[in-house]
Amino acid sequence: MLHIFEILKRRRSVRQFNHDSINKEILIKLVEAGIWAPTGGNAQTWFFIIVTNLEKIEKIKATSPGISGTPRALIVICQDKEFAYKKGGEVGRDVLSVMDSAMAAQNILLQACEEKLGSCVVYSFYKKGLKILLNLPNNIVPELIITLGYPKVIPKAPIRKLNGIYFFEVFQNETRK
Amino acid sequence: MLHIFEILKRRRSVRQFNHDSINKEILIKLVEAGIWAPTGGNAQTWFFIIVTNLEKIEKIKATSPGISGTPRALIVICQDKEFAYKKGGEVGRDVLSVMDSAMAAQNILLQACEEKLGSCVVYSFYKKGLKILLNLPNNIVPELIITLGYPKVIPKAPIRKLNGIYFFEVFQNETRK
């Protein structure tokens, strides 16, 4: 069992998957991980569509520049924008629901890492086409796609710079150029 | 040591803190946890301001309806919007950098939970005033505040509904009313 900090560091954006399929119970557990993230004003305005049909994944991939490799499953994080507006007005609909999706996504990525799955969070996809493929009504908007599969290749971590990106009390002269 | 899923579930939005101050090394570790989150196109356009000065925290709280209790530290997650635009155009500046901030926030909340700190993520604050207090130049925008402190009261988890919020393959009739 890994310490959480090790999982935070071990999670990679994986873009090459092998052909092993993913147990449905694991996919549901990933959604469960997602809904433990906080939501603005406890709005919980999300829906999650789990796609495992390989033909459908291919179709979604065809219009999603952000999807790499051949994932064995997708979790599409959606927001009910009507409900989000009801809960939090324009800010709820336009900002909080987006942030909520991202925070849920991070939980899903971390749990996927724990399950030895590779994952990648994808924003670059064709929303209108995806809405049709997933049968989403007008008020439900797909915000993010998480691709999933057992990794064929685990890439190295991009370099993270800690120096010069945090400051105590006040911002200091920008060191990044 | 806790399994990651237990930490995902144990993290609460804590709004009542005791008076113990937080070790600076822990605060820096929280930032480090944050930067292990993924960023759109590996942009890493963030800055983190750690506020521990209690007078400054009081001043920030005075214009931040979202801050409850008397946190002993704040981590303000900021984005360099000019840099984000350079990295990812309008989408990078207006969407990805916001999502990146939220994903980093989630890592920080989880690591804070591991460190037995209480935390709460706050969106409701007065941006212009905060920019002045933190000495942020025009291009640097505060996206989220994370309040931190050792918990006086750990609230119960709001109920999460797993049933009816996920579907396989396609969205089905909305059950939520």
Please give the mean pLDDT across all residues of chain B. Answer: 96
Write the ipTM. 0.97
Q: A95, B91: Cβ pair inside 8 Å?
A: no
Report the domain count for chain A. Answer: 1
Give domain status of residue A17, yes or no: yes
Give tens-digit pLDDT for B126-141: 999 999 999 999 999 9
What percentage of chain B exceeds 90 in pLDDT? 95
Say if A156 falls within a structural domain. Answer: no
Report pLDDT for A173. Answer: 72
Instruction: Answer for the pair A152, A17: CB distance below 8 angstroms, yes or no.
Output: yes
Rounded to a whole number of angstroms, the distance from the CA of B102 to the nearest CA of chain A is 5
Distance CA B95, CA B89 (A): 10
- Give the mean model confidence (pLDDT) for residues A20-24: 98
Residue A50 lies in a domain: yes
B172 found inside a domain: no
- pLDDT classification of B174: cutoffs 50, 70, 90: low
The token pair that represents A5 in the structure block: 């900090």
Kindly identify which residue of chain A lies nearest to residue B60, measuring between CA atoms: A169
- pLDDT confidence of residue B175: 56
Which chain B residue's Cα is nearest to A140? B171
Confidence of residue B166 (pLDDT cuts 50, 70, 90): very high
Average pLDDT over residues A121-132: 97
Pick from A28, A47, A166: which is nearest to B171 by CB?
Answer: A47
- Residue B135, min C-alpha distance to chain A (Å): 6
Q: Say yes or no to pLDDT of B1 above 80.
A: no
- Chain B positions in Cβ-Cβ contact with residue A2 (cut-off 8 Å): 4
Is there a contact between B104 and B46 (Cβ–Cβ < 8 Å)?
yes
Average pLDDT of chain A?
A: 96
Let me know if residue A166 belongs to a domain: no
Determine the structural domain holding residue B57 and report its residue range.
10-72+79-149
- State the residue for tokens 């005791």: B18
Interval B9-21 mean pLDDT: 97
CATH number at residue A23: 3.40.109.10
pTM across the whole model: 0.97
Taking the alpha carbons of B126, B129, B132, B135 in that order, is the dihedral positive or negative?
Answer: negative
The reported pLDDT for the residue numbered A2 is 75
Q: Are A108 and A76 in contact (CB under 8 A)?
A: no
Q: Which of B35, B165, B172 sits opposite A162 (nearest CB)?
A: B35
Terminal CA-CA length for chain A: 40
pLDDT for A120:
98
Q: Is residue A2 part of a domain?
A: no
Query: Which residues of B fall within a CB distance of 8 Å from A110?
Result: 4, 8, 110
Q: Which stretches of chain B are assigned E, i.e. beta strand?
A: 46-51, 73-80, 118-122, 140-149, 166-168
Q: Which of A35, A83, A106 lies nearest to residue B103, judging by beta carbons?
A: A106
Are A47 and B78 a contacting pair at CB < 8 A?
Answer: no
| Within-domain flag for A160 | no
Which residue in the set A53, A162, A170 is minimally distant from B135, CB to CB? A170
* DSSP secondary structure, A40-63, as one string: GGG---EEEEEE--HHHHHHHHHT
Q: What percent of chain A has pLDDT over 90?
A: 95
Residues in chain B with CB shorter than 8 Å from the CB of A137 are 171, 174
3-state secondary structure of B51: strand
Q: Does A175 reside within a domain? A: no
Is the pLDDT at A128 greater than 60? The verdict is yes
